[in-house]
Amino acid sequence: MKKAFIINILLMAFLIMTSCSDDKSPLKNDYIKRTTGPLIVGETIEFAYAMGTTEGKLKMAIAEAPVAGMSGTGFENVTWRTEAGKNISTIVARDCKTEGNTSSAHIIDAQATTLRYHYIIPEELRGKEVTFTFTCESGVDERTSLRTETYKISEMDMNKQIVLGVGNDDKRYISIEDMQAYTISEVEAGNLYSKIDFIYAYAAKKTVGATSYDYKHAFFSPAAVNYYPDGFSLPATWAKKNSTLMEKKLYVWDGQLKNDVNTNIYVDDLDMQAKGFDNALNFILDLRQDGSAFMKTEDGKYCAFIYISALPSTNASATIGIKRYKY
């Protein structure tokens, strides 16, 4: 609701700018980058592009990207407003299309409006700096353009929703390189033993000798044999047992993996680059929902941030998200 309110204010500001600015052009435009987290390949950069004119009507909105975006890149055909706490859309554009790195939308009978532009980040921009150019045209042949700030595309990869379980047909064997979870059958069929960095487990207690302690939801490296849950073993064919460094965090969130637009806390490239693992172990026990962990693969190739988005207290299951940074 706050963002929709900001855009409404932005539109009203056009009238003020037109009357007060030394720029005598009747056509004005501005933008807000709505995406606040790290800009990750395969994810969306979303802009709100506002246009207004005091002469005639708006004709067209154009966005030029540094390179062609992935499928889904382009303008929406609606504008948004907030009424009684609800976001309401109204169709204000037609013939919205994207060709190469250029997206366009024809405005329908409007003197001022705001369109959202979505750019789906392609692989070729990983780690690069980018800018965008927005242009609007009016029906009286006026045209104005503006260039955005420069934005850095992240080196990270992300997978938001990975569902885990402990049954034979459940996915519980996780590869940080692949950012995927596998069943034991998939590991064996694909000979993926060397790729498995950690395993998910659930057990109320763990018994070592005469001592029993809380185990609960846990991640452990294949090499952490002493911290397997009771009754668990790896197949004899398991040739490589990785020892992944892990550090549990209780109060480190991530708005992207949490999928919460109100959580403006994010793990970014700098966090991954600076993360040390001097006090890390190769297992972590008693995990909590909205908890997290940093991990480093045994080969030193990847740093990962694991966020626990769902963890039913009575079920042996979990949903996690992964951000992965390649050193």
CATH superfamily of 2-152: Domain of unknown function DUF4466 (2.60.40.3550)
134 Cβ contact list (under 8 Å, min separation 6): 29, 31, 47, 49, 61, 62, 63, 64, 117, 145, 146, 148
Q: pTM value?
A: 0.88
Q: Any residues with CB less than 8 A from the CB of 2 and at least 6 apart, and which?
A: none
119, two tokens: 């750019």
Closest to 63 measured CA to CA, from 35, 23, 30, 105 = 105
Domain extents for the chain?
2-152, 157-326
Instruction: Round to whole Å and give the CA distance between 182 and 173.
Output: 5
Q: How far apart are CA 154 and CA 128, in angstroms?
A: 8
- What phi and psi, each to the nearest 5 degrees, are found at residue 17? -60, -40
- Give dist(CA 50, CA 276) in Å, integer: 44
H or E element at residue 252: none
- Per-residue pLDDT for the chain (327 aa), expressed as one digit of tens each? 344 444 444 554 544 444 444 567 899 999 999 999 999 999 999 999 999 999 999 999 999 999 999 999 999 999 998 888 888 999 999 999 999 999 999 999 999 999 999 999 999 999 999 999 999 999 988 999 999 999 999 999 999 999 999 998 999 999 999 999 999 999 999 999 999 999 999 999 888 778 888 899 999 999 999 999 989 999 988 888 999 999 999 889 899 999 877 778 999 999 999 999 999 999 999 999 999 999 999 999 999 999 999 998 778 999 999 999 999
Nearest C-alpha neighbor of 138 from the set 114, 107, 117: 107
Chain mean position to CA 117? 17
Cα radius of gyration (the chain): 25
